Amino acid sequence: MELEGVVQNYAWGKLGSESAVADLCRGDIQGDLPYAELWMGTHPNGPAKIKATGQSLKDFIDGFEDKARLLGKEPHRAFGGALPFLLKILSVRKALSIQAHPNKELAETLHASRPEIYKDPNHKPEMAVALTEFEGLCGFRPLEEISTFLSEVKPLREAVGEPHASALCEGKSGALKDAFGALMQCESKVIKAQLDSMISPNYEIPHLKDLFIRLHAEYPGDVGCFVIYFLNLVSLQPGEAMFLGPNLPHAYLRGDCVEVMATSDNVVRAGLTPKLIDVPPLLNMLIYEPTRDVRFFPKEENPHSTLFDPPVKDFVFVRIFFPGEGGSFSKPIPRDRASFFITPRGPGNAKGQILFLKAGGSGELSFWKEESLRAFQPFCSC
């Protein structure tokens, strides 16, 4: 069953035909309009529709009598007849917000107390797989790296404050949480003054100069410009991935990716955004554990597919690739649970096609042997 996704024109998206999202749209493209995300799922902020009928996928699932046969027995039992995952294509021109997603318990609390802001009582673990060279921030850097930056980037040290900077450089317990909290809660006039000193002709930025200048041009005066010295800078090549579990600080910076997540739109933001910033819950929820490598490595499923299997029940994610060097394409591997099947790269009508496959279903795709095809298939992991 073929679907039509929903395009989101957020300001940070790539413009017009430069966007991977626009490239998948079958219609007129406006050159000055940002095409940021393509949503495929049942979330009310972007419900996919069945191409042949115009009916929303959610209404189709809700009205299906035997949901266990449609979705699979275990997913139906675990998620009460709902599709537990949301698939997106992202095309990032300028940085997204410094953010984290709450775990299930915190999501329920935030939704109950502030439903106008946190509209889902669900967690939002997510997996991003690069379609092009992709850059982001994810997780806290090793303490020795942050200490080096605090010692050598003087405006950063001024913004954090001498007591907190010294405590972190000395390796004191809890110093990372205290230093990051001090930065995020620093007065805006102090942040602006220190950022201005960073870009002064009289100051030579000793680390991450190009990234800092780029972010400051996108979000002048924003504390998020200093966060690059606390979070790991992650560069992914096409096909590489990172998994963003609950309470992990992160931000996407540029590039194109395919993303699968639990069905939720809960985001707690703290910088690099004109949207609502909610610093206190973000500081309380974060995981203050430094790490070096935040990439997520798949397992080979067969010669043409790799399986990304994160530690959540909501989804697993399969990347399928045929290089077009001879041979023929076989059907997607039948799954015993419902799945999406999308082809961001492929010949003719296959490119951009979005299929919803019922449990045990398999799509029909064919192409000439010299043509390549790249596809993704998420489904519930329980």
Burial class (CB in 10 A: 0-12, 13-18, 19+), 53: exposed
Q: Where are the alpha helices (DSSP H) in 128-277?
A: 143-152, 154-160, 162-169, 175-184, 188-198, 209-218, 224-227
374 is catalytic: no
User: What's the one-letter identity of residue 355?
Assistant: L
DSSP category for residue 17:
G
Judge whether 250 is annotated as a binding position: yes
Alpha-carbon gap, residue 353 to 345, rounded angstroms: 9
Nearest residue to 374 (alpha-carbon basis) of 329, 336, 312, 311: 329
Catalytic residue among 93, 141, 254, 269: 269
Residues in a beta bridge with 237: none
CA torsion 258→263→267→272, rounded to 10°?
Answer: 20
- 99 is known to lie in a ligand binding site: yes
Q: Report the alpha-carbon distance of residue 270 to residue 275 in Å, rounded.
A: 9
Tell me the binding residues for Zn(2+): 99, 101, 126, 250
Q: Which residues are catalytic?
A: 269
